[in-house]
Chains A and B, each alone.
Chain A
């Protein structure tokens, strides 16, 4: 699932996710659309922008996903706005990201969703503190 209010960016991210062999099951541009999408389909992973059409509600969306046990990352122009616990996110990619940065993050996320352990995250992905800790522990 992709939650992003800039339509061009959302469409591009969709293409990149699909090019990496995945299917985008839901797109949302504001937080109010999230409950409906979650009822209709079960995303395995989500990309969430912090600033959406109805304000800085991406963090609420993130907490909603965390409650349902859906892993996700933030994709945002200002990751300093994130709370210290990253609202349960795996990590964050700061915009504007590069094609290489996103491709590397996608392959890392793919490994995480498949529960392949021991991989180090790419430079483009800032991990949440607890995730970074577990990753370092697993790599050692």
Chain B
């Protein structure tokens, strides 16, 4: 370590030499001294690259006097919280003779810290040898603390969002699991109810009783089919009544095994709110069931089922052409009541017309009222 006093006077002399190279009127020197930007010049050819010149702005920034600064290495601005990595990068740039721009936490004389946007650049002579280093500083503590506040606020917000999303995902997963579990139980219970009725049908010998039980079973099965179809689409809140009608009719055609009853369809997909699925499906079931009951007479006949949208309305039409036979009065009355109750539940109107052998039943419903409360 060289004698401090001597090295300081070496540094001072170097500074004076630099200054004397510029006449008093040199606008660049004047600007360097007067600018509000803190600046220094160091001499890498002296031991430990000391400060040989600093302007008044640098003294104001650091709180050190000119005397305290000349001859010192810039590391006197470093302190315990100064990032070692940043210091290392400055050192590397200086030994490589390159420019460097870094943000570094520095310490004033009184020990307070400031964020310094430091720029260091080598100054070369005509031969290209480095004769000085020039450094400018910019105190951006205010910006840095705002930035830090913003970053902290952002991190906090992100953490809260992550926490909320986690909670939401958890409750969504729990809800999905619950819906599947409940759906499974409802299906099992409906299947069990149907099994009980079927078992009793098998045990019953009385034709009237069998008939009554099968009539109950038919409605349980209609509701079962609704439940089965409710979760088959991705949209659990909507239900395709057209799809229901198609399955009901095709299954029926195959199962009744009557060549003299011809069933035809004009069915397009009609999505309805899930809450209306059961009454609407029961309407389709009653209309088709009623037509089949009347067509089951010896003559047979034709049954045509229509489910489609029509000018803001939704139409279910069952048209049958057969020798009208009076069906069993209890069945007819039950069918009529079920149809009326289901239609009034969803606000549908029923229109029945008869023309000779042909019976047409239209059930129409406004599709626009799907979002009204139930």
Contacts and interface: CB of A to CB of B under 8 A. Distances in A.
Contacts of B37: none
B255 interface: yes
Interface in B197-226: 198-199, 202, 217, 221, 224-225
| Chain B facing A: main interface SS | helix
Contacts of B33: none
A11 B191 contact: no
B251 A101 contact: yes
Given A12-B199, A15-B202, A96 B251 contact: no
Given A15-B198, A77-B184, A6 B192 contact: yes
A12 B251 contact: no
B329 to A, nearest CB: 24
B120 to A, nearest CB: 65
B228 A8 contact: no
A95 B254 contact: no
Contacts of A16: 198
A9 B192 contact: yes
Nearest to B256: A100
B194 interface: yes
A51 B183 CA distance: 14
Contacts of B217: 99
B191 A96 contact: yes
Contacts of A95: 187-188, 191, 228
Interface string B249-274: 01110110000000000000000000
A78 interface: yes
Given A12-B198, A15-B202, A123-B246, A98 B192 contact: no
B316 to A, nearest CB: 19
Given A77-B187, A123-B247, A123-B250, A100 B227 contact: no
B199 A122 contact: no
B258 to A, nearest CB: 13
B180 interface: yes
Contact of A11 (B194, B195, B221, B225): B195
B250 A122 contact: yes
Given A104-B251, A122-B250, A99 B228 contact: no
A131 to B, nearest CB: 19
Contacts of B251: 98, 100-101, 104, 122-124
A99 B251 CA distance: 9
Interface in A1-46: 6, 8-9, 11-12, 15-16
Task: Name, among A6, A8, A16, A51, the residue most crowded by chain B CB atoms within 10 Å (CB to CB).
Answer: A8
Interface of A: 6, 8-9, 11-12, 15-16, 51, 77-78, 94-101, 103-104, 107, 122-124
24 contacts: A8-B199, A9-B195, A12-B194, A12-B195, A12-B198, A12-B199, A15-B199, A15-B202, A16-B198, A77-B187, A95-B187, A95-B228, A96-B187, A96-B188, A96-B191, A98-B194, A99-B194, A99-B255, A100-B252, A100-B255, A104-B254, A122-B251, A123-B251, A124-B251
7 nearest A-B residue pairs (beta carbon): A100-B255, A96-B224, A96-B191, A12-B195, A98-B221, A100-B251, A77-B187
Given A12-B198, A97-B191, A122-B251, 11 more contacts: A8-B199, A15-B198, A77-B191, A94-B228, A96-B187, A96-B188, A96-B225, A96-B228, A99-B194, A100-B252, A123-B247
